[in-house]
Amino acid sequence: MRWLAAEPIESERLRLEPLTVRHGTRMVSVLADPSIYHFMGGEPPSALTLARQYRRQVVGHSPDGCIGWLNWIVTLAETETPIGVVQATLLERSQAAADLSWVITPAQQGRGYATEAATVLVGWLNEHGVTGFAANIHPEHGASGAVARRLGLHPTAVVVDGEVRWES
């Protein structure tokens, strides 16, 4: 099975760069704020942890080949400064459905970057045949819920690891 491969995506203010292992060093400071992990768990990663994680992710699929991974670093187009990440996990062999996630560093939150990045991601995925979208969001994470609503997702009754499943 050949999965979709991430390509550069641009919006008015942002550039989504396909993830590379080299991004690890640049992303340590972006992902360093402990408040990022309040809803999703975990802790700020080290450069070594990110290098290992990114080395696994850039392959583009799970070890058994059953799940496709698309990962981008979100940068400000004007300065090329990294401010976050977006991800699409392809769950079906048809590649018609994707789970989405987004993280913007707290210093850049409140400016619409998560919505802008996720919107251009969904547009790119639509152009490549992906038509169904979902996201798992902590019920108290109002900002992520707002992004999901802007993407046309709606909360369902399904709860996965304490997070509400939103679907289009």
Domain boundaries, the chain: 9-167
Q: Of 120, 138, 130, which is closest to residue 91 (Cα–Cα)?
A: 130
How far does CA 18 lie from the centroid of its chain? 11
Region 73-97: what's the mean pLDDT? 93
Burial class of residue 110 (count of CB atoms within 10 Å of its CB; 0-12, 13-18, 19+)? exposed
pTM of the predicted structure, to 2 decimals: 0.95
Q: Contact 166/153 with Cβ under 8 angstroms?
A: yes
Q: What share of the chain in percent tops pLDDT 90?
A: 95
The pLDDT of residue 5 is above 70: yes
CB hemisphere CA count around 102 (13 angstroms) = 28
For the stretch 107-132, pLDDT in tens is 999 999 999 999 999 999 999 999 99
CATH topology of domain 9-167: Aminopeptidase (3.40.630)
- Joined tokens for residue 65: 């080949």
- Res 94: pLDDT: 79
